[in-house]
Amino acid sequence: LKQVFNKDKTFRPKRKFEPGTQRFELHKQAQASLNSGVDLKAAVQLPSGEDQNDWVAVHVVDFFNRINLIYGTICEFCTEKTCPVMSGGPKYEYRWQDDMKYKKPTALPAPQYMNLLMDWIEVQINNENLFPTHVGKCKKEVL
């Protein structure tokens, strides 16, 4: 299990919300709703009086954390040898393009693709212009 949760490989620590902040309270609300067996549509509904951008940001970060944990449990089974292509079944192949190192869509082994994707998402989530840590500061045109 130590290999699965090796920070230098694929596992990334959860982004935490500072206790006492409104985002922390929204996170607790989201967690309580998702863990209580409540109707999913009701669980993600914007609470009265809350900023929509803050609510969306909380759910995006939570979703990233959950996907990261799921990926961490399977990554040791999907190697460059066993998963030479990032695909969505026999009809779909995903190619990586980031306009820096990969200027054109490039076929990559699934683990390499996933590591690039998770790194890219983490950079987006940690970008204060996209996901500010202070309540009410999200740019409306981004979210």
Q: Where are the domains of the chain?
A: 17-77, 80-133
For the chain, the residue count is 143
pLDDT bin (cut points 50, 70, 90) of residue 139 is low
Which residues are known binding-site members for Zn(2+)?
78, 83
Give the span between the Cα atoms of 85 and 129, in whole angstroms: 34
Inter-CA distances, 102 with 4, 44, 63, 77, 108, Å:
27, 36, 26, 26, 11
Q: Residue 95: beta bridge partners? A: 107
DSSP alpha helix (H) spans, 8-142: 22-35, 40-43, 52-74, 110-125
pTM: 0.64
User: Binding site: residue ranges?
Assistant: 78, 83
pLDDT digits (tens, 9 = 90+) for 88-116: 988 999 999 998 999 999 999 999 999 99
